[in-house]
Amino acid sequence: MRNFLSILLVSLLLSSCATSPTGRSQLVLIPESEMDQMGRQAFTNLKEETPVNQQTTTNNYVQCVADAITRETGGSWEVVVFKDDAANAFALPGGKIGVYTGLLEVAENQHQLATVIGHEVAHVQARHANERVSQSLAVEQGLNVISAIASPQSGAGQSMMGMLGVGAQYGILMPYSRIQESEADMYGLDLMARAGFDPRESVQLWKNMARKGGDQPPEFLSTHPSHNTRINDLAARLPLTLRLMNQAQQRGRRPDCGKL
């Protein structure tokens, strides 16, 4: 039984290995076509449930920034501004971008908005949603196998499953989520710089977020890097991204989306 499970697991991992834009190995089990379909359906549901902002100036501004970013990735992207006070945005497989109006109160200019949209698009380009689904699937199935071997009906088996559940939550899924967030920060910063936006504004954007967000949980229990970690990592990458920005602007990439 154990030999069979080991062979099955190795075969699954070998056939499902992918590489992120930063060269990190990924477990990707779901076909991209299915992820795209899930993303499109989720976006349709959200548009039905959440009010959509209809202001022309707001939509043109957000569309302008998003177009500059996605020109670097290719593909067709739908952009929607939602009426919501949350300082947030998202991108989904299937070419969908959502921006909440609350973010426009925190992102003070096109460069700061590009920081967030670049970050979210980077999640899609790096297949992070697929990776998270695949990790959850792998952990769930792994725990089911362990449960069968450990005889979960017994007190010892139930105790083991409880400990494994905590281990899976903090030892596997959450660290990967922090890695994904940091990876999206770095790749997203490269995207915005290649589009001609000023990456130096990313640092100010996250300072704005820190002021708005207030207290955070300890970083080791968070799926996001702390604001200080994020700011320091972005600042360290500025020499590279400033070169990317200068090269982009020399090629005529000079976004002029204005400011609301």
Any bridge partners for residue 79, and if so which? 97
Q: Which two tokens stand for residue 154?
A: 């017994």
Quickly tell me which residue has 């604001």 as its tokens. 227
Sheet of strand 96-100: strand arrangement: 78-82, 96-100, 89-92
Any bridge partners for residue 25, and if so which? 19
DSSP 98: E
What angle do helix axes 32-49 and 128-150 make, rounded to 10 degrees?
Answer: 110
Told to judge if 120 belongs to the known catalytic residues of this protein, a careful annotator would answer: yes
Degrees, nearest 5: CA angle 158-159-160: 90
48, 72, 105, 120: which is the annotated catalytic residue? 120
Give catalytic residue positions.
120
